[in-house]
Amino acid sequence: MTTPYPFQTLRDLLRFAVSRFNQAHLAFGHGNANAYDEAAYLLLHALHLPLDTLEPFLDARLTDAEIQTLLTLIERRAGDRLPAAYLTGEAWMHGYRFTVDPRVIVPRSLIGELLVQQLSPWVSRPDNVHNVLELCTGSGCLSIIAADMFPDADIDAVDLSADALQVAERNVGDYGLQDRITLYEGDLYAPLPAGRKYDLIITNPPYVNAESMAALPPEYRHEPEMALAGGHDGMDLVRSIIEQAREHLSDDGLLIVEIGNERAHAEAAFGGLDLVWLPTSAGDDAVFLIHAADLPD
């Protein structure tokens, strides 16, 4: 039986995808670090195969319909430069699966890897964490991980984007956490109940400075600009978060802020504060902690 395609197996399509992705000079960073991992993930997902089991299927013959589906997917990634997560409708972070679409940025926060360690050693008693606030929640991913890691805590999650909160609501529902995570639409602390204090405030806010925004690869330009752009030095929202944090934290509370590659700008803006830089897989320049007592009143 003849086929209109020069491909027969998953191995053929995987090789082609890697070549096509390298030829297109794609940017990675939305879950995979290179063309091979990205291609394997996309192809396995499209074929409804286990995402961590490639080898047994490499030489399986594909149907013409499957080949066409995969070629279309490869071209959307290479030609349209769409992040893989928007093509599959999901993103994985530290073993957690989240629904995503272009209404939210693709989950990739370094705070997540700190949360799965229950913020040790900075939080010595996880059972003493009762109230958590996440600002700029997006897809709700950090709030969901926080709820899992701090089972005695209730979480409030805030975002300015109604669209993003629709995605967060879906994820919260998928994990059955509607009774523990409350979503608020509004500007940072504004929509929160008056007088509520938090043991922990976490935030991965828009922090990309104007110069870096202008140089973003096409993949990142598919994400909501309001979730990335942090003003001239990237610190516009971070300033507002820090200025008001003390009144929303308990006396022993912690504020944890992710600022990506903006440490120099953060230290220039907040050099008078005791910023504790936390070690992550990306180094110790991307996430800082401030104790409530060290915040401005």
Is the pLDDT confidence value at 2 over 70? no
- Please state, for a pLDDT cut of 70, what percent of the chain lies above it: 99
**Mean pLDDT value across residues 88-100:** 95
| Same structural domain, 144 and 195 | yes
| Same structural domain, 156 and 250 | yes
Summarize pLDDT for 110-121 with one digit per residue, the tens.
999 999 999 999
Summarize pLDDT for 228-240 with one digit per residue, the tens.
999 999 999 999 9
Is the pLDDT confidence value at 1 over 60? no
Among 88, 112, 140, give the residue marking a domain's end.
88
Is the pLDDT confidence value at 66 over 90? yes
Is the pLDDT confidence value at 246 over 90? yes
Quick one: pLDDT band at residue 271, thresholds 50, 70, 90? confident
- Whether 1 maps to a domain, the answer reads no
Mean pLDDT of the chain: 95
Q: Which residues contact 161 (CB under 8 A, 6 or more apart)?
A: 103, 104, 138, 185, 224, 226, 227
Among 38, 55, 88, give the residue marking a domain's end.
88
Pair 126, 184: CB distance under 8 Å? no
**Mean pLDDT value across residues 173-196:** 97
- Whether 4 maps to a domain, the answer reads no
Is the pLDDT confidence value at 31 over 60? yes
Q: What is the pTM of this model?
A: 0.93
pLDDT of residue 35: 97
pLDDT of residue 3: 60
| Same structural domain, 69 and 23 | yes
Pair 133, 234: CB distance under 8 Å? no
| Same structural domain, 162 and 199 | yes
Is the pLDDT confidence value at 103 over 80? yes
Quick one: pLDDT band at residue 296, thresholds 50, 70, 90? confident
- Whether 3 maps to a domain, the answer reads no
| Same structural domain, 107 and 80 | no
| Same structural domain, 197 and 263 | yes
| Same structural domain, 44 and 115 | no
Measured in residues, the chain has a length of 297
Torsion sign across C-alpha atoms 117, 157, 219, 240: negative
| Same structural domain, 149 and 110 | yes
Pair 242, 290: CB distance under 8 Å? yes
Is the pLDDT confidence value at 88 over 60? yes
Torsion sign across C-alpha atoms 107, 108, 112, 113: positive
| Same structural domain, 160 and 80 | no
**Residue 65: which domain range?**
10-88
3-state secondary structure the chain: CCCCCCCCEHHHHHHHHHHHHHHCCCCCCCCCCCHHHHHHHHHHHHCCCCCCCCHHHCCCECCHHHHHHHHHHHHHHHHCCCCHHHHHCEEEECCEEEECCCCCCCCCCCHHHHHCCCCCCCCCCHHHCCEEEEECCCCCHHHHHHHHHCCCCEEEEEECCHHHHHHHHHHHHHCCCCCCEEEEECCCCCCCCCCCCEEEEEECCCCECHHHHHCCCHHHHCCCHHHCECCCCCCHHHHHHHHHHHHHEEEEEEEEEECCCCHHHHHHHHCCCCCEECCECCECCCEEEEEHHHCCC
| Same structural domain, 186 and 273 | yes
Helix axes 141-149, 162-174, angle to 10 degrees: 30
